Structure 1
Amino acid sequence: MLVSERIGQFFLETETGRDRLEYTEYGAGDAWVVLLHGQLMPRRMQQPLARALAAEGLHVVTLDLLGHGRSDRPADPHAYSVQAWAEQVLALLDHLGAAQAVVGGTSLGANVSLEVAVLAPERVRGLIAEMPVLNNALEAGVVAFGSLMLAARFLPFTVTGVRLLTRPVPRGIVPFWAGIALDTLDQRPASVAAVVHGLFFGRVAPHSRQRRAIQAPALVVGHPADPIHPAADAAMLAAELPNATFVRARSILEWRLRPERLDAEAAAFALECWRPRGRVRRVTR
């Protein structure tokens, strides 16, 4: 089924300046879903899921958070934090005239979604959290992204060199996920260092006490054998959230390469969120 797709933008005034954010809408109607990307990845990574959800009648929006994709990329670390990104999601809803939305994302996007539910619970119809980054991911995250921050800050030619090598590759001639990888490598040293710095020196996710107070229905997806996004973090989150459903992916690549099962889970969940309010029973699959 073909769905309409429209690119939009809005501007946000913050303490650090006036920032431009870009998004894509899929479908139409009042059953809103906002999908957020992983750290340093573009919003286009959520395109397959967005199209699948829109084909079910949902109005889906994918957003490039500040410092990512085609949104502005300031070099000031103070511009970046999980709380600031959550405020950008709320600003997007205001811009679209959406009173509520199912908010979800992958990795960083999952954490930002949780923060939205803490900041403005009345705006969140439901949560989709794939690969949340919580306690068990700390060491692997520090190793992976700490090294990246140091390289970007003190060896900027490494980041620039990768960008110069990958940017000329036409995205239309490579497989979709290869194109996403190339887009993820299209970074600027100052902004990528600022993004990681902002994450490291702010809180990565709401505290466990705050997570336990989130009443919105939630779909939590965990991956096996993923060192940066341990399944234990997803299982812990599902146990903390009062109205959560936990779904275990068959592999870390299932939702990327064989998405049908998890697309169906996400669509059924989001549609249920837009039916009259009711308690979502916890199940484990």
Structure 2
Amino acid sequence: MSERIGQFFVASDAGRDRLEYTEYGSGDAWVVLLPAELAPRRMMQPLAHALAAEGLHVVTLDPLGHGRSDRPADPHAYSVTEYAEQVVALLDHLGAAQAVVGGVSLGANVALETAAIAPGRVRGLLLEAPVLDNGVEAGVLVFGPLLLAARFLPLSVTLLRRLTRPVPRGIVPFWAGIALDACDQRADALAALLHGLFFGRAAPSSKERRRITVPTLVVGHPFDPLRPLADAVTLADELPQGTFVRARSALEWRLTPERLDRAAVGLATGCWKAPRRRRRSGA
């Protein structure tokens, strides 16, 4: 299966920031996949392979502050809305009129936000473990100390980076390599990213979500306080074409992905078999 690495640039107040992506497969049936918070786009590679094997043209993206994309130390560069605008910029760069957009955790929220701010560009949604109202407190407990450490104890972040970066990714299991990549952070950029996500818009409002009419697969994790099952259930109920699937565990799609891969393939291929939606003109 062909894999091609590309890059594009987005404008900011401080200049231009570079984003990197990987393409799998070819054709006009586009799918864009986004990783969880702090993780590289490589975490989406197994699902990208499964989707591309069915004839879909899949692109995995490192949003700003993730993976091999730029990491500005400016909190204004980071928010769910900024990330959604980067997805739209990616589609423009690729010449893709529409795509099925999906992601995990933060990536799921970004996909949802993309459908809210650019409904004409989204063909369908693949959302794993979205984080809405029920995940706020756990998010503060987990990422709050990390923000404080990056801001006031930057040496701790630098030390972790120096310890983990030299480990060859080829000699460790795939998911261990993803965890090591997530530890490869710069303190100033990490503090800016977490600050931006904490104090920016986290997801579309319930009213906005109810207006998202594209076919959507929502996968919820049981026993995952950071990404509560209740948020996934609520979201699937709010979306007019939402379908909820309960994962057996938070690790099912990582360790035994076949069942959830089939559900994702079914949703994505079904979106591209259906006629393209026509937007009604305003009155």
Classify the TM-score, shorter chain.
Answer: over 0.9
1:46 aligns with 2:39: no
1:71 paired residue number: 69
Aligned 1:1-285 pairs, distance under 5 A: 3-277=1-275
Quote how far apart the aligned CAs of 1:203 are.
1.1
Quote how far apart the aligned CAs of 1:16 are.
3.2
Stretches of 4+ aligned residues off by more than 4 angstroms: none
Structure 1 gap ranges (5+): 280-285
Structure 2 gap ranges (5+): 278-283
1:283 paired residue number: none
SS of 1:205's equivalent in the other structure is coil
Cα distance, 1:92–1:264 mapped onto 2, change above 3 Å: same
Contact persistence 1:16–1:78 (CA under 8 A):
no
* AA of the residue aligned to 2:266: A
The CA distance in 2 between the partners of 1:41 and 1:90, in whole Å, is 20
Contact persistence 1:221–1:246 (CA under 8 A):
yes
The CA distance in 1 between the partners of 2:228 and 2:276, in whole Å, is 30
SS of 1:13's equivalent in the other structure is strand
The CA distance in 2 between the partners of 1:30 and 1:241, in whole Å, is 26
Matched length: 277
1:282 paired residue number: none
The two structures have a TM-score, normalised by structure 2, of 0.96
The CA distance in 2 between the partners of 1:16 and 1:238, in whole Å, is 38
The CA distance in 1 between the partners of 2:25 and 2:185, in whole Å, is 30
Deviation track 1:106-152 (CA, whole Å, cap 9, x = no partner) reads: 00000000110011101100001100010110110001111100000
SS of 1:206's equivalent in the other structure is coil
> How much is the aligned-residue C-alpha RMSD, in angstroms?
1.0
* AA of the residue aligned to 2:87: V
Of 129-138 and 14-23, deviating more is 14-23
SS of 1:274's equivalent in the other structure is helix
The CA distance in 2 between the partners of 1:16 and 1:249, in whole Å, is 42
